[in-house]
């Protein structure tokens, strides 16, 4: 694993002692971390392009953690968030979790509880990145298709036979077979079922609109 793809835990807390304690704990289990005193410092930082999560204090100078959670979502920054706070209450917890937070821990919390949440968050982010990468590759393959090949693909995944597609497009069945072969090769699909799954992931309309 390269340093660019190694997981990173970001810690945003205005208490230097808390930051140091969490960073020390993470180092002891071999996890890389970066700490920040404010949300603004985190936003200004250059973040490595690997799995990550954010351990975020609810009460921060300038902007509170819940508002910052919303700002990140609005900016399209998708990162699993684990909230920590010394002043938690049920409405606050509910609001954070409804907005997508992975965990909400009240200080003082057990190190193991935080570590469990961090490992869960990193696994979630790793999976999301893999799915995003797979989708980007699928889009690239789809963009390599000609307009007619895309049309044929849409009809194929809707369940139409070659002769039905040929009739629908006003062309010969042999031409449809050629286009279909190009689609399978360019999309790197080994079966019709796999091509259907690809179309579903790409959210393509099946058949003619």
Low-confidence ranges of the chain (pLDDT < 50): 209
- 83-142 residue pLDDT tens: 998 876 677 787 888 878 889 898 888 999 999 999 999 999 999 999 999 999 999 999
| Two tokens, residue 10 | 């970001």
**If residue 126 lies in a helix (H) or strand (E), which one and from where to where?**
helix 111-143
β-pairing, 52-57 vs 32-36, is unpaired
Q: Which two tokens stand for residue 58?
A: 């609810």
Q: What angle do CA 135, 152, 173 make, to 5 degrees?
A: 150
pLDDT reported for residue 3? 54
Q: What is the pLDDT of residue 4?
A: 55
| pLDDT of the residue at 209 | 44
Task: Please list the residues that pair with 11 across neighbouring strands.
Answer: 35, 55
């Amino acid at each position: 694993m390269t340093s660019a793809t190694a997981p990173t835990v970001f810690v945003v807390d205005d208490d230097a002692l808390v930051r140091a304690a969490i960073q020390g704990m993470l180092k002891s289990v071999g996890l890389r971390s970066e700490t920040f005193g404010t949300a603004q410092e985190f936003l200004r930082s250059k973040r490595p392009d690997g799995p990550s999560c954010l351990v975020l204090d609810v009460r921060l100078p300038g902007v509170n953690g819940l508002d910052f959670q919303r700002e990140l979502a609005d900016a399209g920054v998708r990162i699993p968030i684990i909230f920590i706070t010394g002043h938690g209450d049920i409405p606050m917890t509910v609001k954070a979790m409804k907005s997508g937070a992975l965990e909400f821990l009240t200080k003082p919390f057990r190190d193991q509880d935080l570590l469990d949440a961090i490992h869960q968050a990193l696994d979630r982010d790793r999976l999301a990145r893999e799915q995003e990468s797979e989708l980007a590759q699928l889009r690239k393959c789809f963009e390599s298709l000609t307009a007619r090949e895309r049309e044929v693909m849409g009809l194929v995944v809707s369940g139409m036979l070659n002769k039905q597609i040929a009739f629908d497009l006003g062309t010969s069945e042999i031409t449809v077979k050629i286009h279909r072969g190009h689609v399978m090769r360019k999309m790197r699909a080994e079966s019709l079922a796999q091509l259907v799954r690809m179309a579903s992931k790409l959210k393509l309309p099946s058949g003619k609109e």
